[in-house]
Amino acid sequence: MAIPHPRDVQLAVVNWLDERYPFTKAIDEAMYQRVPNFANAFYYCFGGMVFVIIVLQLLTGILLAIYYVPDARGTPAAAYTSVLFIQSNVYLGWLIRGVHFWGANILILMVLLHMARVYWTGSYRAPRELNWMVGATMLLLILAFALTGYLLPWDTKAYFASEVTIKIMGLPPPPQLGAFIKTLVQGGPVVGPPTLQIFFTTHVFLLPALIVLLMYVHFRLIRAHGIAEPL
Cα–Cα distance, 199 to 147 (Å, whole number): 9
Q: Is 130 exposed, middle or buried (0-12, 13-18, 19+ CB in 10 A)?
A: middle
Residue stretches of the chain with pLDDT short of 70: 1-2
Query: What does the pLDDT look like over 9-47, one tens digit per residue?
Result: 888 998 998 899 888 888 887 777 777 888 878 888 999
Q: Give the predicted TM-score (pTM) of the model.
A: 0.89
Residue 118 in contact with residue 132, Cβ under 8 Å? Answer: yes
Domain coordinates in residue numbering, the chain: 41-225
CATH annotation of 41-225: 1.20.810.10
